[in-house]
Amino acid sequence: MHSSKKVAFYTLGCKLNFSETSTIARSFEGEGFQRVDFSEKADIYVINTCSVTENADKRFKTIVKQAQKANPKAFVAAVGCYAQLKPHELADVDGVDLVLGATEKFKITDYLNDLSKNDFGEVHSCEIEDADFYVGSYSIGDRTRAFLKVQDGCDYKCTYCTIPLARGISRSDTLENVLQNAADISAQGIKEIVLTGVNIGDYGKGEFGNKKHEHTFLELVKALDEVEGIERLRISSIEPNLLKNETIDFVAKSRTFVPHFHIPLQSGSNEILKLMRRRYMRELYVERVAKIREVMPHACIGVDVIVGFPGETDERFLETYHFLNELDISYLHVFTYSERDNTPAAEMEGVVPMKVRNKRSKMLRGLSVKKRRAFYESQLGTTRTVLFEGENKEGYIHGFTENYVKVKAPWNPELVNTLKEITLTKIDEDGLVRFEELSIATVD
C-alpha cells in the first residue's frame, strides 16, 4: 500500500533510544516503506525524543524545522520519552503531526493510515501505568557492533530523574528472547554486542509483567557468554549497588565479556547522594572499583557524574572532585544538572547558579581528559585485541580494544570489522593510540 513511501528517522538521547529506533524502522520496512537519510526528502519523519537533557528539548524544534525544509508536505511524528512526558508541548511545535508516548511508539505504522497533513498535532499518549508490556529491540548502528535491549523502565526514584515517568516500571525481556536476538545479531557478522536497558542490573524483574524474578542479571550474563558466534559482549551501564561481585568475577574469566564497566556515581558526596535518593553511599562505590581492579587490573571503568545538583555547595563539589581524582577510574561522563518538571529535585532549595554549574562541569571534564590519558598511558606496551570500525576518518581507521582504548591506523578497508591482536605503542597528538600489529592473522 505504501509502495513508494519514504521514511526517515532522527534519534536523540541514549543507546536504548537508538536500538528502539531500529526496531521501529524495521516495522516500517515490513510495511514496504523505504528508509532514507534524515537529510533527504521523505514522506514521513520520525523523531525519537529524549527527556534527560535540556539540550534535547531545544534540538527537537531545530530537527522539526530541518524535516520541514527537506519536505514541507511531510508527516512529522514525535515518539519516545519527551513525547510521553510533555505530549502537548511537542504537539504545539509547528509542523508536528503526531505525538506517540511510551506504549504507542512501537505501533506507529498503525497510526499512519492517513498520511494527509494534519492541521494540528494529534496526541496519543497512554497513562504511563499502561506501559507494562515489553518490546524487545536491537539496533545495528554500524556493522561492527549492535546495541541489544534487555530491560526497560525503572523502579528507582532518583529525585532528578524523569525516566520512571517517561518509561514506566522496570520490566525485562525473557531470557530466550534475548538469546535469540543475540544469535540473530551474530548471524549477521556483527562482532560486538552492547547490552542496554534503563536499569540493566535489575534484569529479570517483570519477565512476566509482574515483579516475579525468573532470572537474574548474572544468569543473563552467563547464558549470553555461551551464545555461539558472538566475539564480544559489553555491559553498557550498571548501577553500583546492582553490580555484584559474582558478576565482576564472572566477567573476569568469561569468554566474551570485555573488561569495561560504566558505573554511574552521580556525586562523591554522601549528603548529595542522599538528596538524590541514590541507593548506595560513596564507600560502596570505592569497594566496586577496588573489586574490579583486583580481578581485572587492566579494566576500563567509566563514571557518570552530575554537577550542580541543588545543595551542591563548593565544599560538596570539591568532595566529588577529590573523590574522583583519587579513584582508579578511566574516564567520566559529566552531566550538568537541569531542572525537570514533576521531579522532587526541581523543588529543592540550595539551587546552584547556572554559571557555577557550567564551571564545575568544565573542571570535571578536564579531570576526565587527565584520567583517560593516564589510563591510555598505563596500557602502552600491552597486547590487546582491537575491533576496527567501518568509517574512513580523514585517512584513518579507528577501533576499540576490549578495554576501550581508542586506537587509529592508516585507512585500510580490509581491516573493517576485523579483530586483530596488537601491541599499543604510543599516544598520538589527537589523544588516540597507535600500535603495531602482531600478526597478520585475524583473531578467531
pTM tops 0.85, yes or no: no
Grid cell for residue 324: 574522583
pLDDT score, position 237: 92
pLDDT digits 0-9 by tens, 122-153:
665 656 666 666 676 888 766 788 999 999 99
Q: Which residue in the block uniquely carries the three cell numbers 585500510? A: 412
- Contacts from 351-360 at CB under 8 Å and sequence distance 24+? 351/310, 352/308, 352/309, 352/310, 352/312, 354/308, 356/308, 357/307, 357/308, 360/307, 360/308, 360/312, 360/317, 360/336
Contact residues for 27 (Cβ-Cβ < 8 A; gap 6+): 106, 108, 109
The one-letter code for the residue type at 118 is: N
Q: What is the pLDDT of residue 116?
A: 44
Q: What is the pLDDT of residue 133?
A: 64
pLDDT score, position 139: 82
Q: Which one, of 92, 98, 89, 88, lies nearest residue 118 by Cα?
A: 98
- pLDDT at residue 221 in the model: 97
φ, ψ for residue 146, nearest 5 deg: -130, 150
Name residues whose C-beta falls within 8 Å of residue 65's C-beta, 6 or more positions apart in sequence. Answer: 95
Interhelix angle 245-253/282-295, nearest 10 degrees: 20
Q: Which of 164, 139, 166, 165 is nearest to 78 (CA)?
A: 166
Low-confidence ranges of the chain (pLDDT < 50): 1-2, 116-119
The closest alpha carbon to 171, from 138, 131, 143, belongs to: 131
The yes or no reply on domain 6-127 and CATH 3.40.190 is: no
261-379: same fold as 132-258? yes
Residue pair 410/395 in contact (Cβ under 8 Å)? The answer is: yes
Contact 345, 308 (CB under 8 A): no
SS3 state at 171: strand
Q: Can you read off the three cell numbers belonging to residue 379?
A: 596500557
- 11 forms beta bridges with 48
Q: Considering Cα of 49, then 105, then 345, then 331, what sign does the dihedral take?
A: negative
Write down the pLDDT at residue 434: 96
Phi-psi region of 3 (alpha: psi -120 to 50; beta: other; left: phi over 0): alpha
- What CATH code would you report for 261-379? 3.30.750.200
Cβ atoms of 312 and 345 within 8 Å: the answer is no
Task: Evaluate whether 259 touches 235 at the Cβ level (below 8 Å).
Answer: no
Is 3.30.750.210 the CATH number for 132-258? Answer: yes
Question: Would you state the cell numbers that stand for residue 77, as one nine-digit string?
Answer: 511524528
- State the cell numbers at 164: 520512571
Domain ranges of the chain: 6-127, 132-258, 261-379, 382-435
Nearest Cα residue to 92 out of 68, 64, 117: 64
Q: How far is CA 295 from CA 245, 254, 328, in A?
A: 10, 12, 14
pLDDT at residue 131, as a whole number: 67
